[in-house]
Structure 1
Amino acid sequence: MAKVSIDYRICRGHQMCVLGLPDVFAVGPDDEGRAMVILGRQPDERLAALRDAAASCPENAIRIE
């Protein structure tokens, strides 16, 4: 299983991850529109899609472990 997280200190709310994987990421409740992780544990089969979402983040705020 892959663990997905967002570094909220550097996320600026571009929401590219939400567009790419809406079943994993959502728009968070804060006033800045930062993303949040819905499902932080993902099967290894989704690793390529998770890496694509991380690469789409202009701030490099997505972490995959």
Structure 2
Amino acid sequence: MQFRVLGNGDAFASGDRFNTCMLVTTSATACLIDGGASSPIAMRRFNVDPSTIATMLSIYKE
């Protein structure tokens, strides 16, 4: 299992940091946690193929 922090910035992705976003991968699956608006950019920067993500979890509640 691998845990990667793709972003740890604020809601505005200031300071050249992406919105908070984590990626958990195993040999069988991948899960994106708390992906925000800058997540696709962070995934591109860190060479994460979006088609490998099976599950997305959000911590936000309306």
Which is helix-richer, 1 or 2? 1
Bigger Rg, which one: 2
Give the TM-score taking structure 1 as reference length: 0.31
Which is strand-richer, 1 or 2? 2
